[in-house]
Amino acid sequence: MKMTTGMGYVRCVFFVMFLATPVTAWTQSAPQGDAPVQNEREALGRWQRMTPEEKQQLRERFERWEAMPSDDKAEMQKKFDRWRRMSPDEKARARKNFERWQQLSPEQRERLRERWQQWRELSPERREALKRRFKRFRELPPETRQELREKARQRFERLTTEEKQQRRERFRERMERLSPREKQALREKFRDRRQRGGQEEQRPSREQARESVEKNDGKQY
């Protein structure tokens, strides 16, 4: 990496220190040995050990970072800081959640996005009520939980293909009404939930989606 003078030098130094941020926060996939570097020398050492493909990916991430509005940069920095504070177990859980996400089909990812959008649109009071319901659900015997899951699955299967498609279209329409900033914020929140090992948060969302199916069963959207 060639160092220059003036603003070019400042930009290069910032690029080197950019290596100090957890790569996981940008790629959402963490190499097992990933850890924040402590100084410029260590950052340069990491750069020299990278493959050409990894260097190109990092350049592209750095360029996206530079193009971000200041508010978005501040939000991203919070995520970097949160990642650094995570314990090894929490980071391992975040990696595992992302691996599961990568294995999902496009349709499954779309359904998760729909559920997250439904959850996001609820009032704080409604979210708390659903969390309490889910807590009670977890306290039920395993056989009872399985029976309830099966009933919910059967109700969902009774929806026609057209009804399922209409639900997806409604979600896309809601997304189109969002501003670019709101869309980006929604994506970041969704990624953040996955990165923090948001399995427990996803479960209330699934419960809310299940309730929505019950309420709208047999109706046209």
Tell me the pLDDT tens digit for each residue of 29-70: 444 444 444 456 776 777 788 888 888 887 888 888 788 888
pLDDT above 90 coverage of the chain, percent: 0
Res 18: pLDDT: 57
Phi, psi at 30, each rounded to 5°:
-110, 120
Res 44: pLDDT: 73
Res 15: pLDDT: 56
Least trusted range by pLDDT, from 41-50, 52-61, 149-158, 211-220: 211-220
Locate tokens 């995570």: which residue? 86
Q: pLDDT of 80-108, one tens digit each?
A: 788 888 888 888 888 888 888 888 888 88
Res 193: pLDDT: 59
Report yes or no: 120 and 204 within 8 Å, Cβ to Cβ. no
pLDDT above 70 coverage of the chain, percent: 62
Res 96: pLDDT: 87
Give the CA distances from residue 5 to residues 14, 66, 83, 92, in Å, rounded to whole numbers and listed in that order: 13, 19, 33, 41
Res 207: pLDDT: 47
Locate tokens 């969704």: which residue? 190
Mean pLDDT score of the chain = 70
Res 105: pLDDT: 87
pTM for this structure?
0.36
Domain boundaries, the chain: 6-85, 101-216
Determine the Cα–Cα distance for residues 201 and 221; give it in Å rounded to an integer: 27
- Per mean pLDDT, which of 6-10, 121-125, 194-198 is the most reliable? 121-125
Token pair, residue 194, equals 């996955």
142-145 LR contacts (CB < 8 Å, sep 24+):
none
Locate tokens 């019950």: which residue? 214
Determine the Cα–Cα distance for residues 205 and 213; give it in Å rounded to an integer: 12
Determine the Cα–Cα distance for residues 100 and 115; give it in Å rounded to an integer: 17
Determine the Cα–Cα distance for residues 103 and 93; give it in Å rounded to an integer: 16
Res 138: pLDDT: 86
Report yes or no: 36 and 84 within 8 Å, Cβ to Cβ. yes
Res 14: pLDDT: 53
**205: confidence class by pLDDT, cuts 50, 70, 90:** very low
Q: pLDDT of 108-146, one tens digit each?
A: 888 888 888 888 788 888 888 888 988 888 888 989 989
User: Which of 36, 27, 98 is CA-nearest to residue 62?
Assistant: 27
More confident residue, 164 or 95: 95
